[in-house]
Chain A
């Protein structure tokens, strides 16, 4: 403990001139923790009031992956620690913001390569590398985003270093400038101004910088220290429990409960005893003011009520492990019988396709069209670079095409394809119906480049409509949206909003010029039942008489209806 205190003291001393590996770990962890505390705010800044693709969550998951990667082996070597952080971020990157964030870490790691410690000059250079790498990672860099924030941050670091070698001074300057740049993003990107928000990715980065500074100024000490301890304890506990899988498929204490308890004069030992008595897999760490709790129980109310009796609780997570396990066992697996549906290419010499989809029904359609592997987008709808990369690697094919089916997955797909030694091409599909359209043009025996081009062309022939519930009130594209109302989007643009699904659906169909299309396909989501969907489809059929209407269960989360028109 002595050494750590010494290092913390150095950081908070009058002048902090050198940063070592251990300190970099703490800084990064502090950035993670502060982002974690504020990620919902970042989510709320999404310009589009849609329930998936949350920037805050994506950046958080990316940072978690980065921090998880830091091992003991890198020791105190700053260059090695940075490399590990970068690796973790790259693999765990989700969503476009997550990928750009990982490129920022990559640049930082490049700048710190080979150094045991870094000083203010090194830091300024590393920031510049971070900015350059981030810009290079995007096909069409746009100002008014996280890119602007890192660029101006780097500029400020270069200027600050001329005035002082104190790392804290430099970080303070970088943070102030970043906040300033963030505040100006609505002036650079009209859609932000319209929505009345600053750029979410930029805000996420600002929180990370802010977290680092809070650590440096001693404000974060307790929480980040506790998070670190918590993680270590969890690992220890999980390793010991690895062999304890339930034999009859029934978990004794199915609810996984975690929370942070904040209060005064808390007694960690007593809290641990009381919590431990409620279930198993106990991890309780902290001090008199902050305690983090983890427990598996039969009734989640019990530990939560206890926490509330002692102080304030926050960061509450309750998961039903029994359900998760059942889903895992019975969930969409790569079974055969898909042979007749044409699942998977057997011939390794052919092109294999990886598609991202959230929704069992949608996955089935993709498989029936010849997709070899589905990556499940999940609730946030954003798989990580690693998940996509793994899917590519798992296929027996040397030539692979990836369909992201979502604008926010494009970068992660590209990153995964760059990582893979195979010949991989990404068809830039922005929606599920575009993905289906692309598959119609898919030829497994084709030439990779040519096939990719044809699939892209086919994808662009498809118009997409989406219906979901608005997550906030906002005015975009001359449409007034109220939180909780149904919103309709056509090819990613907001077109209608209102309290009733039918009316919005009608607007969407009109906007898609449905009357002049040959076929409209309707994929209904998990929140819609078959009867309702059938009634809707029949209504549409009667209105648009010359158009073929196809209704299929999509099973997707969040979006009541996804429509494709050709």
Chain B
């Protein structure tokens, strides 16, 4: 019995960790104008965020075709996988899981379980990581799935957006509350949970927002796993890391991760957040 975990690139599993745990990553497409890039392959994230403000056309993301997933699953089977857990961003927010599911129908040699993380970015990634660790630990698929059900409820992201321009331009204002004050300087604090992104607070400065993010995470009690994500602004991420110092117990923290452009193009550069699974 070999259990492998597969994710799409929006799950933001740090590459080194992915390699260590044998997590396969299927890149999604980032479309800028008439050019199409594979997330993390053709376009580094850092480059993307540097260029983002200058893009004329608004970048869009697209899930890979089911056949791409078929090939990815098949490759894992060829490496000896008998069971595959496929973790993806929330179906409420994207079609990606559906494309993966369609792709899984044509695979021979392994049982494939789809897992709707009801999250995005690191929120999905953390679930994939704990699943892979459990698999390496000898747990069975039913055990892992039960654990994922439990962990999913305890997974949250709190993030501060630097500007509302991108959320507004992306047309995805249905994600969050209306009335986000694009005239006044506002740093909205959003929560990602249960497949939804909601603005929970509007704060005026990042000076105030960062401690607030930490407070929000703290209110959920002891932390199992936690990570910081950012888009183009390493400095702010480091400030957040300092504020959140006491939350990072040994073994709980994963390295900084730069946010997938799939999400970053909607949130805008300067977004910084804490993704975590509570104990």
Task: Spell out A's residues near B (CB within 8 Å).
Answer: 339-343, 345, 364-365, 368-370, 436, 439-444, 518-519, 521, 548, 550, 552, 566
Contact B183 A518 (CB under 8 A): no
Q: Which of B51-59, B200-208, B248-256, B264-272 contacts A (4 or more CB under 8 A)?
A: B200-208
CA distance A342 to B174 in the complex (A): 11
B180 close to A (CB within 8 Å):
yes
Contact A370 B204 (CB under 8 A): no
Q: Which B residues, 137 to 173, have Cβ-Cβ distances below 8 Å to chain A?
A: 168, 173
- Which residue of A365, A441, A443, A444 contacts B184 across the interface (Cβ within 8 Å)? A365
Tell me the smallest distance from the CB of A403 to a CB of chain B, in Å: 14
CA distance A167 to B186 in the complex (A): 63
Contact B202 A440 (CB under 8 A): yes
B108 close to A (CB within 8 Å):
no
Tell me the smallest distance from the CB of A287 to a CB of chain B, in Å: 57
Contact B204 A365 (CB under 8 A): no
Q: A340-B168, A518-B207 are in contact. Are A550 and B178 (CB under 8 A)?
A: no
Q: A340-B168, A548-B185 are in contact. Are A518 and B178 (CB under 8 A)?
A: no
Tell me the smallest distance from the CB of B48 to a CB of chain A, in Å: 25
Contact B180 A440 (CB under 8 A): no
Contact B179 A369 (CB under 8 A): yes
Q: A369-B184, A550-B184, A552-B184 are in contact. Are A342 and B179 (CB under 8 A)?
A: yes
The residue in chain B whose Cβ has the minimal distance to the Cβ of A547 is B205
Q: Which B residues, 92 to 117, have Cβ-Cβ distances below 8 Å to chain A?
A: none
CA distance A127 to B234 in the complex (A): 72
B245 close to A (CB within 8 Å):
no
Tell me the smallest distance from the CB of A551 to a CB of chain B, in Å: 10
| List of A residues within 8 angstroms of B182 by Cβ | 340-341, 368
Contact A444 B177 (CB under 8 A): yes
Contact B180 A342 (CB under 8 A): yes
Contact B184 A521 (CB under 8 A): yes
Binary per-residue interface labels of chain B (212-241) against chain A in the complex, 1 for a CB within 8 Å, 0 otherwise: 000000000000000000000000000000
Contact A548 B205 (CB under 8 A): yes
| List of A residues within 8 angstroms of B208 by Cβ | 518
| List of B residues within 8 angstroms of A518 by Cβ | 204-205, 207-208
Contact B183 A368 (CB under 8 A): yes
CA distance A521 to B183 in the complex (A): 12
Contact B181 A369 (CB under 8 A): yes
| List of B residues within 8 angstroms of A369 by Cβ | 179, 181, 184
CA distance A434 to B56 in the complex (A): 37
Contact B183 A552 (CB under 8 A): yes
Tell me the smallest distance from the CB of A351 to a CB of chain B, in Å: 11
The residue in chain A whose Cβ has the minimal distance to the Cβ of B185 is A550
Contact A436 B173 (CB under 8 A): no
Contact A519 B204 (CB under 8 A): yes
Name the interface size band of chain B: 10 to 19
Tell me the smallest distance from the CB of A504 to a CB of chain B, in Å: 25
| List of B residues within 8 angstroms of A364 by Cβ | 183
A-B residue pairs in contact (CB < 8 Å), sample of 23: A340-B173, A340-B182, A341-B183, A342-B177, A343-B179, A345-B178, A368-B179, A368-B182, A368-B184, A369-B179, A369-B184, A370-B177, A370-B181, A440-B181, A440-B203, A441-B202, A443-B177, A518-B205, A518-B207, A518-B208, A519-B185, A521-B184, A566-B205
The residue in chain B whose Cβ has the minimal distance to the Cβ of A443 is B177
- Which residue of A343, A436, A519 contacts B205 across the interface (Cβ within 8 Å)? A519
CA distance A364 to B179 in the complex (A): 11
Contact A370 B205 (CB under 8 A): no
The residue in chain A whose Cβ has the minimal distance to the Cβ of B178 is A342
Tell me the smallest distance from the CB of A64 to a CB of chain B, in Å: 37
CA distance A345 to B203 in the complex (A): 21
Contact A370 B179 (CB under 8 A): yes
CA distance A262 to B178 in the complex (A): 59
| List of A residues within 8 angstroms of B181 by Cβ | 342, 365, 368-370, 439-440
| List of A residues within 8 angstroms of B204 by Cβ | 440, 518-519, 548, 566
The residue in chain B whose Cβ has the minimal distance to the Cβ of A353 is B179
- Return the 8 tightest CB-CB contacts between A and B, nearest first: A370-B179, A342-B179, A342-B178, A518-B205, A368-B183, A440-B202, A369-B181, A368-B181
CA distance A166 to B208 in the complex (A): 70
Tell me the smallest distance from the CB of A364 to a CB of chain B, in Å: 6
| List of B residues within 8 angstroms of A368 by Cβ | 179-184
Tell me the smallest distance from the CB of A284 to a CB of chain B, in Å: 50
CA distance A365 to B184 in the complex (A): 7
The residue in chain A whose Cβ has the minimal distance to the Cβ of B188 is A440
CA distance A339 to B179 in the complex (A): 9
The residue in chain B whose Cβ has the minimal distance to the Cβ of A369 is B181
Tell me the smallest distance from the CB of A454 to a CB of chain B, in Å: 11
CA distance A341 to B169 in the complex (A): 11
CA distance A440 to B181 in the complex (A): 9
CA distance A57 to B245 in the complex (A): 60
Tell me the smallest distance from the CB of B263 to a CB of chain A, in Å: 21
CA distance A518 to B179 in the complex (A): 23
Q: A340-B173, A342-B179 are in contact. Are A440 and B186 (CB under 8 A)?
A: yes
Tell me the smallest distance from the CB of B241 to a CB of chain A, in Å: 20
Tell me the smallest distance from the CB of A94 to a CB of chain B, in Å: 29
Max count, chain A CB within 10 A of own CB: residue among B184, B202, B203:
B184
CA distance A363 to B178 in the complex (A): 17
The residue in chain A whose Cβ has the minimal distance to the Cβ of B183 is A368
| List of B residues within 8 angstroms of A339 by Cβ | 178
Contact A365 B173 (CB under 8 A): no
- Which residue of B168, B183, B202 contacts A365 across the interface (Cβ within 8 Å)? B183
